[in-house]
Structure 1
Amino acid sequence: MFKSILVPIDLADTDLAKPAIATAATLSQTWSGVVRLLNVLPMTPVMLAEYVPADFDEQQRQTSEEALAIVARESGIDPARISSVVRQGGIYHEILEEAVHMKADLIVMTSHRPAMRTYFLGSNAGHVVRYAKCSVLVVRH
């Protein structure tokens, strides 16, 4: 049923992602599926561009790729069934784009407990749930 699972990860808080990774691992094993870990890097604001090194974005990407490789190794998922990718842009937009690109059957992501501010502004998880073309499983921490 779920052959292709996308797991967005915030590398600033990998502990928050552990329940989603564990859930994706179980589902991928049950359905003989594959898991893709995704990290989204924000765009460097134009007004800061002159204050950062010319290769700042590339350094950020490389650091993120290395961190995702560590998370993948520690996930317990068979290395042949897990991959990772780093994208740059708006968080929920890039999650939705990657899900379409990889033809995901399921997005598994964690979300903080709702706070009053998220009821008015929305959250990345909320946007993904509303606009994803595949099933979305939100795992509470």
Structure 2
Amino acid sequence: MMYKRIVLAVDLTDESILVANKALSLCQSTGADLTIIHVIESLNYAYGGDVPIDVTDIQQQLKETASERMAILAAQLDLPNQDTCITQGGIESEIHRIAKDKQADLIVVGSHCKHGLALLLGSTASGVLHDAPCDVLAVRVKKD
């Protein structure tokens, strides 16, 4: 099966370039289009909606920081800005939504080694795998 549209979900940490390079390599070998996405988890969502303060300014600052980091990552990969997307919401559900919208054949995510099921895939990678609209590739990320 040849992949035509790949969605790369990144957390925008320093290790994101390692995962991005794998996705870019896949795109180059298959001729697939690459869309890089980052999901900012809503603070209200992360804390069950019980945040007693207005978090609008904090969420805006998170978006600005994400935009700066996404621009750096895209520049490292030599991708135009239209191939990137920053969204807000539940991480797994937003990745699934964007993959469906883009009619992706493959979602690429990084996986940090943790414990339990997360030991195999990482908690976000595991969540993305369940109910994914397409194939999922978890790229192992190790901190040296």
**TM-score over 0.5 for the pair:** yes
The one-letter amino acid paired with 2:131 is: Y
Aligned to 2:3: 2
Q: Percent identity?
A: 31
Could you list the runs of 5+ residues in structure 2 that have no partner in the other structure? none
Q: Which has the higher helix share?
A: 1
CA offset digits 1:80-116 (Å, max 9, x no partner): 5971111111111111111111111111111112413
How far, CA to CA, are the matches of 1:86 and 1:49 in structure 2?
Answer: 26
Normalized against structure 1, the TM-score is what?
Answer: 0.80
Question: What CA RMSD, in Å, does the superposition of the two structures yield over aligned residues?
Answer: 2.4
Alpha-carbon shift at residue 19 of structure 1 (Å): 2.6
Q: Name the CA shift for 1:9/1:49 in 2 (closer, same or farther; >3 Å).
A: farther
C-alpha contact (below 8 Å) 1:37/1:82 kept by paired residues: no
SS at match of 1:104: coil
Is residue 68 of structure 2 the alignment partner of residue 66 of structure 1? Answer: yes
Q: Name the CA shift for 1:74/1:118 in 2 (closer, same or farther; >3 Å).
A: same
Q: Name the CA shift for 1:81/1:58 in 2 (closer, same or farther; >3 Å).
A: closer
1:46-61 alignment, distance < 5 Å: 46-48=49-51, 50=53, 52=55, 54-61=56-63
The one-letter amino acid paired with 2:74 is: A
Query: Relative contact order: is structure 1 or structure 2 higher (C-alpha 8 Å, sep ≥ 6)?
Result: 1
How far, CA to CA, are the matches of 1:92 and 1:51 in structure 2?
Answer: 24
C-alpha contact (below 8 Å) 1:37/1:84 kept by paired residues: yes
Residue-pair matches, total? 134
Aligned to 1:126: 126
How far, CA to CA, are the matches of 2:18 and 2:62 in structure 1?
Answer: 25
C-alpha contact (below 8 Å) 1:35/1:82 kept by paired residues: no
Q: Name the CA shift for 1:117/1:5 in 2 (closer, same or farther; >3 Å).
A: closer
The one-letter amino acid paired with 1:35 is: L
How far, CA to CA, are the matches of 2:6 and 2:117 in structure 1?
Answer: 29
